[in-house]
Structure 1
Amino acid sequence: MTAIDQSATVAIDAEEVRRVRRERAERIGRWVLPLTIMALAIFAWDRICVWNEIPHYILPRPGVVLQALYNDAALLFSSLLVTLRITFLGLLLAVAGGVGLAVLFAQSKWVEMSFFPFAVVLQVTPIVAIFPLINIYVDNQTTKLLLCAWIVAFFPILSNTTLGLNSADRNLRDLFALNGATRWQELWLLRLPSAMPYFLGGLKIAGGLALIGAVVAEFVAGAAGQSSGLASRIIEAGYRLNAPRLFAALILISATGIVIFLVLSWVSHMMLRRWHESALKQER
């Protein structure tokens, strides 16, 4: 091996080492940096309360919030289960309705042109403006909340899935037609797989929106009692100036939203990692 070959090999090895170190630093930083910033923010929160002698009923210290979360765990987590039930039922209905209607739109442009504007109207109209009508026409409290969660989560599923179904490669669609494939064969074997990344992207958005819809619906409905959700606990704590419980409920809602997003992101990655470019890039 010549001196030039040896120097080229050394340069390649050094570049590979730098690449491995950079990837390792990125993997560590992806977790360390957010946790560090969060810890600093909590520390600053605590110091602000101490230095300004802020009463706990206005701004409680983090330790007081954690104590309230522990003391009121039975009440808060039972309310969390109520909110989660509405969230996941609303998301399930949004997936069923959104995907089903998107498939119908993909089969007929006339149907899409006729009904898609109604979906847009539901999306752009604030749920707090729609709820008074729901409150008039629906008697059951759970059904009211479920409708609100469904309305908020429905459009991202419908819009993304419709876009995915219409984004199938036109050359492949022509190939299916040349081989005598039926419309349902084209849908099942080509258009639905092509729409999967779009659907999963909409699902990640809809998961958080379903939680928001459930919480907002509880606020607007003013639900109360032992079987009510976290939003009712926040309202109740606000009336009683119980700021530690209020913050504890907010933390539970935020943590739930983060967990929903992470779970749906993991599901999306697992379904796409072997074949779709967006997931393959993450594994290089």
Structure 2
Amino acid sequence: MTVARAKTGGLTASLKFIRASIPILGACAMVAIWSLGVKLSGIAPYILPGPEAVATALVNDWPILVAGLWVTAKTTFLALLLALIGGWGIALLLAQARWIEALFQPVTVTVQVTPIVAIAPLIAIYAATAQMAQMICAFIVAFFPIMLNTLQGLKSAERYHADLLRTYGASRWQTFRYLRIPSALPNIFAGVKISGGLALIGAVVAEFSVGQAGKNAGLAFRLLEAQTRLNTPRVFAALVLLAWLGAVIFMMTSFLSWLVLRHWHESEISTKS
């Protein structure tokens, strides 16, 4: 029996290792195909550089790229933090009564459906600095998924459970604390996952629209600068760092969701297993 369990445990560990290695193998295969395709086609490096040229650009231009990455990351995380605070707070306010939601609906819908590219120049006029304008743009993009998902989650609590709590004399705050907020957690963290990537997108779009040169230039501005100079390897290097930052944000928000929901929500329990 002990030997059988040891074999089963070893097989399970091997399967988990193989499953975890599949994305890495897929990424390596893509890079190999990319490198081979560039070499066989003989395409010019300023049109499509190979992975070797991109790696060289990462090493040679690292001081410039990492400084831009730091600026973009600060804008993204600050905008996401403010979106979390504002989105949760506004959702709690709108969930108090239907008339409050209807009162604010024209403003929220108008700002949500207006492209951020169109709003960015106007924000640049009224913001005190370019950095503040970029942060506001990223905040607007990240705010609405958090607010809407949280509001939907708060409104989706089972009515029978709410009636039961009222039967036992629970106050409005106790109903929120013990029923509506816990039942909204899956929606809340779904909004956080979405807004993590959107905050980065908003920061990049803002840097394209209202970015500035110098030490406060973000990574997206460095990408645009390299593109105007036909420095395509640096463009790809900046894209690699932006993709890496987006992946880090997604993993952080996913881990936070798993940490909170792992013991009781089916989606994270199945992910854990």
Calculate the TM-score normalised by the size of structure 2: 0.92
Whole-angstrom CA distance in 1 between matches of 2:149 and 2:12: 35
Q: Which deviates more from structure 2 when the two are superposed, residues 28-37 or residues 127-136?
A: 28-37
In the alignment, what sits opposite 2:149? Answer: 160
Whole-angstrom CA distance in 1 between matches of 2:110 and 2:267: 31
Residue number among 119, 130, 133 corresponding to 1:144 in the alignment = 133
Q: Residue type of the partner of 1:185? A: Q
Q: Residue type of the partner of 1:227? A: N
2:175 is the alignment partner of 1:186 = yes
Residue number among 37, 43, 46 corresponding to 1:48 in the alignment = 37
What displacement does 1:31 show? 2.7
Q: Residue type of the partner of 1:201? A: A
Q: How do 1:80-229 residues align onto structure 2 when only pairs under 5 Å count?
A: 80-229=69-218
Whole-angstrom CA distance in 2 between matches of 1:161 and 1:119: 14
**Alpha-carbon contact 2:90-2:147 (below 8 Å) kept:** yes
Alpha-carbon spacing, 1:59–1:272, altered in 2? closer, same or farther (3 Å): same
Query: Which sections of structure 2, spanning at least 5 residues, go unmatched?
Result: none
Whole-angstrom CA distance in 2 between matches of 1:273 and 1:261: 17
What displacement does 1:226 show? 2.0
**Cα distance per residue 1:81-110 (max 9 Å; x no partner):** 100111011101111111001101111111
Alpha-carbon spacing, 1:24–1:194, altered in 2? closer, same or farther (3 Å): farther
In the alignment, what sits opposite 1:250? Answer: 239
**Cα distance per residue 1:211-264 (max 9 Å; x no partner):** 000011000114211221001110111111111111100000001101110111
Number of residue pairs the alignment of both structures matches: 270
The higher radius of gyration belongs to 1
What displacement does 1:24 show? 5.4
What displacement does 1:172 show? 1.6
Whole-angstrom CA distance in 1 between matches of 2:272 and 2:66: 37
SS of the equivalent of 2:42 reads coil
Q: Residue type of the partner of 2:108? A: A
What displacement does 1:159 show? 0.9
Q: Which deviates more from structure 2 when the two are superposed, residues 146-155 or residues 57-66?
A: 57-66
Q: Residue type of the partner of 2:109? A: V
Query: Which sections of structure 1, spanning at least 5 residues, go unmatched?
Result: 1-12
Q: How do 1:253-268 residues align onto structure 2 when only pairs under 5 Å count?
A: 253-268=242-257
**Alpha-carbon contact 2:130-2:211 (below 8 Å) kept:** no
SS of the equivalent of 1:107 reads coil
In the alignment, what sits opposite 1:230? Answer: 219
The alignment-based identity, stated in percent, is: 47
Q: Which deviates more from structure 2 when the two are superposed, residues 272-281 or residues 262-271?
A: 272-281
Q: Which deviates more from structure 2 when the two are superposed, residues 165-174 or residues 247-256?
A: 165-174
Whole-angstrom CA distance in 1 between matches of 2:111 and 2:131: 20
Q: Which deviates more from structure 2 when the two are superposed, residues 224-233 or residues 30-39?
A: 30-39
In the alignment, what sits opposite 1:10? Answer: none
Whole-angstrom CA distance in 2 between matches of 1:22 and 1:63: 37
SS of the equivalent of 1:257 reads helix
Residue number among 49, 73, 81 corresponding to 2:62 in the alignment = 73
Residue number among 20, 37, 49 corresponding to 1:31 in the alignment = 20
CA RMSD of aligned residues (A): 2.2
Q: Residue type of the partner of 2:168? A: N
Whole-angstrom CA distance in 2 between matches of 1:33 and 1:167: 38
Q: Residue type of the partner of 1:140? A: T
**Alpha-carbon contact 1:120-1:155 (below 8 Å) kept:** no
Q: Residue type of the partner of 1:219? A: F
**Alpha-carbon contact 2:154-2:183 (below 8 Å) kept:** yes
